[in-house]
Amino acid sequence: MQEFARSKGMEVIPLVQTFGHMEFVLKHRPMWSLREMGHCVSTLNPHKEEGFRLVMEMLRQVVELHPGLNTLHIGADEVYMLGEGGESKLWLASPGRTVEQLFLKHVTKVAQAIKEAWPHMTIIMWDDMMRGMTQDTLKASGLVGLVQPMLWDYTPNLDVDTTVSLLEKYCSAGMSELWAASSFKGSTSVYTCVPSTQRHVDNHVQWLQVAASLSAAVNLQGIAITGWQRYDHLSVLCELMHVALPSLAACLQTLDHGQFSAEAQSRVTERLGIPSVEVDAIGRTSADDSLFPGRKLAELTVELDSLLNSEDVRFFENNMYVRGWFSPFQRQREMVSPLITMQIHSQASTYLATLQEKAEAVREEMVRLYPDSTAQEWMEEHVSPVVAPLQKITEDISACLNQMGL
C-alpha cells in the first residue's frame, strides 16, 4: 500500500493514538491497570511509566514498518475522564496544578521522546483538548515547536468566525503550522449506512471560508479529509467505503474548485459514471464497476437500507392490525382472529422474503470487497434487528393457528 501511495505522489502519515481512544489496547486484560479509570477503556493513565513505554513501543513498531517516514500523527483527542483517576487526583492536589497541565505534560513527554528517537519527524496532533486553553498555558507547556495541531470540525454549519479565532489563538501561542480536518463519511450518526454528499460538501465549503479568512501569520498546512469506519474502536460500523466514493469525489472537487460549482459536480458524475453525486439517487443500472469501484454494492446497499428504514417494515409490530388483533396478551391466550392473523402473517412473510432476498444480494457482493467478518457484522447490526421481529410474528401466528387446528 505504501508503494502504491508513493506511485500516486501521496505521502503516508500513520496515526497512532497515544492518550485517548486507546480502546484497542486497553481493552486487553494485561493492560487494564494502565487505564486512567477502570470503567473508561479509552484513556491511558499518564502517570504510569509502563503506559509511556507502551506508547513508545507502538510508535517504534509503526515507524519501523514505514521506511522513510517523515510525519507522525499522535492522536490525543477526546481524552475522557482525565484527572479522575486516583493518581491524577493526587497529582492535582498540589497547588496550581490543572487537568490542562496534566494533558500537556503527557503529550509533551511523548512528543519530546519522538523527537529524540527521530529528530527529523514532524508531529501532528488533534487540537480539541487544547481548545479551552489560554495562550499562556500553551506557551508554558513546552509543546510549542514540537507539534502541529490539527483542528477538526465535521459539521455542515461549522462556525467560521469561531474556528478562525481558534486557529489564530494557536498561531499567537507559537503554533503557526496548523492543519484542518473535515469528513467525507462518518460524523452524521453512529449507525448511518448511507452518507449525504451535500452534508459533507457543506462542511468543506465552510472550511474554505475559514482558510480564506485567516491572517498571513497562520501557515495552514492542509486539510485531512477524514472517512470514518466507526466512531471509535468499540462502536458499530457506520458508512462503508463503497457508498461514500461519490461523497469523497465531491469533497475533493469542492476543494479543488473553491466551491461546489456546476463544473465541480459534472467532474464527479462524469468521472464516476453516475447521474447524481448523492449515492442514494444513482439508481440501479447495468453499468460495471470500472469507473466506480463498488458501485453495484452501493446500489444494493441503498435499496436495502431504504427498505430497512421504511416505517411499514421497521415498525411492523406497531401497525394497527398487529396491535389490535395480535397483541402479546392475545398471543399468550391464543385469543386471535384467524382471518386477520392470516393477513398479518401474509404481509410479514412478504416483507421477510423481500428483506432476505435483498440482504443476501448485499452479502454476496459485500464479501467480494470486504472480509467475511465485516459482512457478518454489518448484517447482524442492520438486518437482523429488523428481520427478527418479523420472523417472531410469523412463527407465533403459525403456532396459534396450529393450536386452533388451522
Catalytic residues: 78
Measured in whole angstroms, the distance separating CA 101 from the mean position of its chain's CA atoms is 29
Distance of alpha carbon 251 from alpha carbon 265, whole angstroms = 10
Q: Letter for the amino acid at 94?
A: S
CB atoms within 10 A of CB 21: 23
SS3 for the chain is CHHHHHHCCCCCCCECCCCCCCHHHHCCHHHHHHEEECCEEEEECCCCHHHHHHHHHHHHHHHHCCCCCCEEECCCCCCCCCCCCHHHHHHHCCCCCCHHHHHHHHHHHHHHHHHHHCCCCEEEEECHHHCCCCHHHHHHCCCCCCCEEEEECCCCCCCHHHHHHHHHHHHHCCCCEEEEEEEEECCCCCCCCCCCHHHHHHHHHHHHHHHHHCCCCCEEEEEEEEECCECCCCCCECCCHHHHHHHHHHHHHHHHHCCCCHHHHHHHHHHHCCCCCCHHHCCCCCCCCCCCCCHHHHHHHHHHHHHHCCHHHHCHHHCHHHHHHCCHHHHHHCCCCHHHHHHHHHHHHHHHHHHHHHHHHHHHHHHHHCCHHHHHHHHHHHCHHHHHHHHHHHHHHHHHHHHCCC
Largest interatomic CA distance in the chain: 84
Q: Cβ(124)–Cβ(150) under 8 Å?
A: yes
Distance of alpha carbon 369 from alpha carbon 164, whole angstroms = 40
Unique residue bearing C-alpha cell 482558510: 211
